[in-house]
């Protein structure tokens, strides 16, 4: 079987799996990294949101063969390490605002929020209501309002 090499949460990994298997299953079923959640498998619910080279990506829609050895995949488990702390400021904001209910969507929500704040910062502006309206992650527990508050707070510390 073919082998694919890339980086996950700061470490290089090599997996032995057909190239069309989507990254979500490589992470969860082969590498045992279960932070990214399955909610649809067709890139619409965003529960699996993770980062590839710092940008938000949905691994349920990425064949593992698309990754290069230098590509850095960050899942929720590796987010804090990207800032060299126990918790990323966005995770801290999430705790302060007591956002999570069942928690199933939250890894994806946080990863999407961090990417949004970076994007908006790169454009040299503040987060707007329209930016928040544009987040597509579903939360079936309906935590949306606290998510909005947490993102605004977390952005200040990023």
Partner 1 sequence: MTGSNDGMPPDEAVGRRRFLGYVLAAPTLVAAAELGVTASPDIRPPSPDIRLPSPEITEILDLNDMMTLAALPTSGLVTVEVHPDGTVSFALPRAEVGQGITTSTAMLIAEEMSVPLDRVRVTLADARPELVFNQLTGGSNTTIATYTPIRVAAAVARLRLLAAAAVELGSAVTDLALKDGVVTARSGASVGIGALAGTAASTRTRQVPVTLTPREDFTVIGRPQNRIDALDAVTGRKKFTMDLDVPGAKPTMICRPPTINGRVGPVANLAEVRAMPGVTDVVTVSTGVAVRAETFGQCIDAVRALKVSWKPGTAEGKSDETVLRELEAAELPIGLRPPTPVVEERFTFHFRSNSALEPNCAIADVRADRAEIWSSLKSPIVAQQAIAATLRLPVGRVTVHVTEGGGSFGRKLFSDAALEAAEVSQKLGKPVKLMWHRADDSRQGRTHPMATSRVRVSYLGDTVLSYKQRHTSVSTDLGHGLGEIITATAAKLPVGDIGFSETFFQLSQTMSYDFGSSSRLLSETDKGFNTGSMRNVYSPDVTCARELIVDRLAARMGRDPYRFRRDFLRNDRSRAVLEKAAEAGGWGRPMPAGTAQGIAFHAEYKSVSAALVEIDCRPETVGRPIRDGVAGPRVTKAVFVVDVGLVVNPRGLEAQMMGGIMDGIALALTSSLHLRDGYFLEASWDNYFYTRQWNTPPELQIIIMPSGSEKPGGAGELGVAASMAAVACAYGRATGTMPTGFPINHGTLSFTPKPTVPPVPPSPTDGLDHAR
**111-130 positions binding partner 1, by CB under 8 A:** 115, 119, 129
Interaction of residue 34 with ligand FES, rule CB under 6 A: no
Closer Cβ to partner 1, 136 or 156, answer by number: 136
User: Integer distance in angstroms from the first to the last C-alpha of the chain?
Assistant: 42
Residue 57 contact among ligand FES, partner 1, none, beta carbon within 5 to 8 Å by kind? partner 1
What token pair was written down for 124? 């040299």
Interaction of residue 152 with partner 1, rule CB under 8 A: no
| CA distance linking residue 151 with residue 71, whole number of Å | 27
Rg over alpha carbons for the chain, rounded to the nearest Å, is 15
Interaction of residue 45 with ligand FES, rule CB under 6 A: yes
| CA distance linking residue 101 with residue 50, whole number of Å | 20
What token pair was written down for 92? 């801290």
Interaction of residue 60 with partner 1, rule CB under 8 A: yes
| Count of residues near partner 1 by CB under 8 A | 78
Place of tokens 């790169």: 122
Shortest reach from residue 22's CB to ligand FES, in Å? 9
**85-104 positions binding partner 1, by CB under 8 A:** 87, 91, 94-96, 98-104
Residue closest to 116 by CA, chosen among 42, 48, 51, 20: 51
Binding mask 78-117 for ligand FES (x = CB under 6 A): ----------------------xxxxxxx-----------
Interaction of residue 57 with partner 1, rule CB under 8 A: yes
| CA distance linking residue 48 with residue 143, whole number of Å | 17
């Amino acid at each position: 079987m073919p082998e694919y090499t890339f980086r996950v949460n700061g470490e290089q990994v090599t997996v032995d799996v057909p190239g069309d298997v989507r990254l979500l299953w490589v992470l969860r079923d082969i590498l045992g990294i279960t932070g990214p959640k399955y909610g649809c498998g067709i890139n619409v619910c965003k529960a699996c949101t993770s980062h590839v080279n710092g940008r938000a990506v949905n691994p349920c829609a990425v064949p593992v063969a698309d990754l290069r050895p230098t590509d850095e995949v960050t899942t929720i488990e590796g987010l804090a390490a990207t800032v060299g702390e126990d918790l990323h400021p966005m995770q801290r904001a999430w705790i302060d605002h007591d956002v999570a209910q069942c928690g199933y969507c939250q890894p994806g929500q946080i990863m999407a929020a961090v990417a949004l704040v970076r994007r908006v910062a790169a454009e040299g502006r503040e987060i707007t209501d329209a930016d928040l309206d544009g987040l597509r992650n579903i939360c079936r527990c309906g935590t949306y309002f606290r998510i909005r508050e947490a993102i605004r707070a977390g952005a200040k510390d990023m």
